[in-house]
Structure 1
């Protein structure tokens, strides 16, 4: 089981930068390169012969994994130059909680300075 996990992790890390920056796409003379944040997680387990094995129970093994990709936006190259175009939904999903926490912290700082 461990060998499979190591092979899978090695395969994904060897594709690292290709996963973050997608393949360039050319549409009507404009080149678009998508950008995303990626995160993977893998696990494996085993219960068999040894101190933790239950008496009379056959050994077992298991494993799993998962991943997530968050699209941040794209680099766009055209006659006006290269610029980054953010994904507005991701920007709002990250920005709203950040602004709430920052505002809450700022109000506590102001309250502490008034005392």
Structure 2
């Protein structure tokens, strides 16, 4: 199930073959208590990373989806910056 979701079907676009690539995560959970109440749920995420492109006989090259990369990297860099600032502030005390 994961590989079929991660790599899309190859497409022919103007003489090039394009294979879309995505990061796919999913999870499920459930539980109950001593009174007999129970529940469960699940969720998923698909983030388009880019595509492999190439002509028939040449090697394929990866072309990243810059919008998706920025959407992931900006919060990551912000969180890392906040963590470093807190560590430095704590070290000064």
Query: Does TM, normalized by the shorter one, top 0.5?
Result: yes
Q: 2:16 aligns with which of 26, 30, 35?
A: 30
Report how many residues are paired.
82
Q: Which has the larger radius of gyration?
A: 1
Counterparts in 2 of 1:42 and 1:78: CA distance versus 1, 3 Å: same
Unaligned segments of structure 1, at least 5 residues: 1-14, 54-58, 109-115
Structure 2 length as normaliser, TM-score? 0.68
Question: Counting helix residues as a fraction of each chain, which structure ranks higher?
Answer: 1
Counterparts in 2 of 1:97 and 1:45: CA distance versus 1, 3 Å: closer
In the alignment, what sits opposite 2:4?
Answer: 18
- Kindly indicate whether residue 70 of structure 2 is the aligned counterpart of residue 92 of structure 1: yes
Query: What CA RMSD, in Å, does the superposition of the two structures yield over aligned residues?
Result: 2.7
Structure 1 length as normaliser, TM-score? 0.57
Question: Counting strand residues as a fraction of each chain, which structure ranks higher?
Answer: 2
